[in-house]
């Protein structure tokens, strides 16, 4: 079963109306076109996402200056951000290929990717 989205609901309504009311079908098709236009519009980054760009740059700088891989807690303390935020941003950096994650004694450590 497919998820009942607005678009699916509108298509069901169009099928139910059929050819009995062409004007209603036209209105519903216009609504679908508006939904598709809105969905395809470029998304503006949130204020937090813009802030995180600078924080991620600071994390990379901190890791470059570190003598050894750092934990999320150590990164958070160095940058005066929460461990949770440091961990989330380190994961993003790892997914982007900027840092690598290793484990030592069950502890996640991060370093600059080579």
Residue 2 confidence (pLDDT): 74
79 or 3, which is more confident = 79
Vertex 42: Cα angle to 44 and 85 (nearest 5): 40
| Domains in the chain: boundaries | 6-40, 47-112
Q: Of 46, 16, 96, which Cα lies nearest the Cα of 112?
A: 96
Mean pLDDT, residues 31-53: 93
Chain mean pLDDT for the chain: 93
pLDDT digit string, tens, across residues 10-19: 999 999 998 8
Of the options 1.10.10.10, 2.60.40.1220, 1.25.40.10, 3.90.1150.10, the CATH number for the domain spanning 47-112: 1.10.10.10
Query: Strands, E, within 1-114: which ranges?
Result: 99-104, 107-112
Global pTM reads 0.66
Q: Which two three-digit tokens encode residue 42? A: 């470029």
Under the banding of pLDDT at 50, 70 and 90, the label for residue 1 is: low
Q: Is the pLDDT of residue 106 over 70?
A: yes
| The pLDDT value given to residue 3 | 86
Beta bridge partners of 104: 107
Kindly state the average pLDDT of the residues 42-71.
94
State which of 12-16, 20-24, 84-88 shows the largest mean pLDDT: 84-88
């Amino acid at each position: 079963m497919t998820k009942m989205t607005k678009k699916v609901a509108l298509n069901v309504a169009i099928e139910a109306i059929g050819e009995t009311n062409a004007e209603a079908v036209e209105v519903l098709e216009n609504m679908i076109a508006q939904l598709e236009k809105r969905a395809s519009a470029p998304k503006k980054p949130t204020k937090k996402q813009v802030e995180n760009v600078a924080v991620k740059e600071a994390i990379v700088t901190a890791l470059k200056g570190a003598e050894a891989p750092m934990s999320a807690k150590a990164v958070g303390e160095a940058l005066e951000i929460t461990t949770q935020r440091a961990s989330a941003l380190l994961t993003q950096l790892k997914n982007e290929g900027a840092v690598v994650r290793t484990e030592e004694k069950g502890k996640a450590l991060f370093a600059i990717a080579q």
